[in-house]
Amino acid sequence: MPLISVQHLEKVYDSEGVKTPALRDATFDIEKGEFVSIMGPSGSGKSTLMQMLGLLDRPTGGQYLLEGKNTVELDDNTLATYRNKKIGFVFQAFNLLPKTSVFENVELPLLYDDKAFGKNGDRVNAALAAVEMSHRTTYLSNQLSGGEKQRVAIARALVNDPEIIFADEPTGNLDSKSGLQVMSILQELNDAGRTIILVTHETFTAEHAKRILRMTDGRIVADELVRSRRRAEGEDFLK
């Protein structure tokens, strides 16, 4: 059974009677442990698709099965639980609290998990170690470089041990070297078994994945396997 199964997914935005289709007839599966890029120009529907897959918004048509469960039939509380337990998000804008420590930023998702009480320290430290940010635990997030902020954002996405990590333009605000460091971390997480779904408009970034879904005008127009990944280039650049 696929981790994600999407059948004829649609999203239409209605603003004062004006209907704008943003996602049209999307059908595909994603297996556990895949690294998939959703690629397309601005306005192609890639971010809308990520919002549907990440349970941040509801589709207006079609079916979305997550681990075999039809998410369209789930209530808002159940969807919120799924988001906190199964999904981690990394965004272009980092979304860190500026005058809050690195530790507290990473800890934030655990504050909504009663079962995590008393284990926060170990889980936060393990997540920071995974992105090589243990030496910045007590720093305020506004004292970090852009690349460091994104690594903290990845640690925050990891702290609840999610099944899937969604990364929306994670290198968009970074210089080339920092961007490669972030992509290297995502590749390592994927190699360790984590499912990664990356949204990007950049070919170079998309080709770090093993598979690319290409979008135009709200439609998936191609589903391609990536023949050669960028790992070697990234590692050479970082040395």
pLDDT bin (cut points 50, 70, 90) of residue 228 is low
Q: For 95-118, what is the mean pLDDT?
A: 84
- pLDDT tens for each residue of 147-176: 999 999 999 999 999 999 999 999 999 999
- Residues 9-47 have pLDDT tens digits of 999 999 888 999 999 999 999 999 999 999 999 999 999
DSSP string covering the chain: --SEEEEEEEEEEEETTEEEEEEEEEEEEE-TT-EEEEE--TTSSHHHHHHHHTTSS--SEEEEEETTEEGGGS-HHHHHHHHHHHEEEEETT----TTSBHHHHHHGGGGG-GGGTT-HHHHHHHHHHHTT-GGGTTSBGGGS-HHHHHHHHHHHHHTT--SEEEEESTTTTS-HHHHHHHHHHHHHHHHTT-EEEEEES-HHHHTTSSEEEEEETTEEEEEEE-SS-SHHHHHHHH-
- Is pLDDT above 60 for 224? yes
pLDDT at 142: 93
